[in-house]
A and B are shown apart, each in its own frame.
Chain A
Amino acid sequence: MVVEPEHLEENRVRRHTDEAVQASIDESTRRNLAYFAAQPAAILDGRVEELDWERDIEQVLEMNAATLAFAGAALGTIVNRRFFLLTGVVLGFLGQHAIKGWCPPVPILRRAGLRARTEINQEKFALKALRGDFAELKGAADDERVDRALAAVAL
């Protein structure tokens, strides 16, 4: 049995998400699956592509941190040096987020339903499976499975 690393990169945001909020995010992914699986193929294909464009929580956190820290640094330079402290605090949290996966805006953004890239990819690959992208692997000889798997996830 494989021991899972303690600090799974893909789990860093999920680890710090309130259980009820996490459940509702997973539930909405499952609802999306049920909805899009029942649609015609073209709409399902569109959804698979659309998911690649969905804005993930990291992007929003970066925009938020950049805006606040920029304001602090600009005001610190022009108005009063004390504004530099705002920049310092925001960037301290950004660094902490990079390492631990938590900073103050995370609970708010999670409650707003923002997903991590890994969660978006769960929906994407589940839809690909429902679409039959992995159907070729069934019953394939061992040495063919790898090539067919690569073909199924091709860029």
Chain B
Amino acid sequence: MFSRPDHEPDRARRYSTPRQLARIDEKSDRNVRLYGRQSRDMIDARIAELRAEWSLERVVQLNIAAVGLGTVLLALTRNRRWGLATCGAMAFLFLHATDGFAPPVPVWRELGFRSRAEIDREIYALKAVRGDFDEVEPIQPPAEEAKIDQAGDAVGV
């Protein structure tokens, strides 16, 4: 069901279906192409908009806090056993923090909520188009590396 690559640092991307990932990435690339060709003011406005975009993390925190508060209120007023539902919600919050999964995650992903890393990727693409990195001179590889290569060549590795 999920793409679940073993080497995915972004927890949001671990538990998204391949279709959701493709849709989210394509939309992001399309937006860079769209806004990247606009005037500088439009790019600035788009970057400000992206900086204010609600990330998945925030939505999941609010979501699980609401579920937890609701069930704990029921535990206090109706039946103590509602506390077990709160425990379940908190177990999923912990799982979300460490591994990335929580039951609402695929639903929020379907609705298009992105991780901060995904949003930042779009921001930095637009910053690059805007020319923010034009002044940065790439560093030269340290001289030592050439010496190491020479040494390697000398011993035949």
Chain A residues near B (Cβ < 8 Å):
2-5, 7-11, 37-41, 52-53, 58-60, 62-63, 65-67, 69-70, 72-74, 76-77, 81, 84, 87-88, 91-92, 94-95, 97-99, 116-118, 121, 125, 129-132, 134-135, 137-138, 142-143, 145-146, 148-150, 152-153, 155
Contact = CB atoms under 8 A, between A and B. Distances in A.
* Those 8 A-B pairs whose CB atoms lie nearest each other, nearest first: A132-B138, A77-B83, A62-B97, A73-B86, A52-B9, A70-B90, A146-B36, A66-B94
A41 B138 CA distance: 12
Contact of A59 (B66, B97, B121): B97
A74 B87 contact: yes
Chain A contact residues, majority secondary structure: helix
A129 B135 CA distance: 10
Chain B contact residues, majority secondary structure: helix
Contacts of B120: 10, 117-118, 121, 125
Contact of B97 (A63, A77, A81, A143): A63
Given A58-B57, A67-B94, A73-B90, A91 B128 contact: no
A62 B94 contact: yes
A70 B68 CA distance: 10
A98 B65 CA distance: 9
A94 B61 contact: yes
A98 B138 contact: no
A39 B139 CA distance: 10
Contacts of B86: 69-70, 73, 76, 84, 87
B2 interface: no
A116 to B, nearest CB: 8
A70 B65 contact: no
A69 B48 CA distance: 35
Contact of B72 (A5, A87, A97, A98): A87
Interface of B: 9-11, 25, 29, 32-33, 36-37, 41, 44-45, 48-49, 51-55, 57-59, 61-62, 64-66, 68-69, 72-73, 75-76, 80-81, 83-84, 86-87, 90-91, 93-94, 96-98, 115-117, 119-121, 124-129, 131, 133-134, 136, 138-139, 141-142, 144-145, 148
A95 B116 contact: no
Contact of B93 (A2, A66, A116, A137): A66
Contacts of B68: 69, 73, 87, 91, 94
B139 A37 contact: yes
A73 B86 CA distance: 6
Contacts of A39: 142
A10 B32 contact: no
A131 B140 CA distance: 8
6 contacts: A4-B48, A9-B54, A10-B52, A62-B61, A73-B83, A94-B68
A73 B75 CA distance: 9
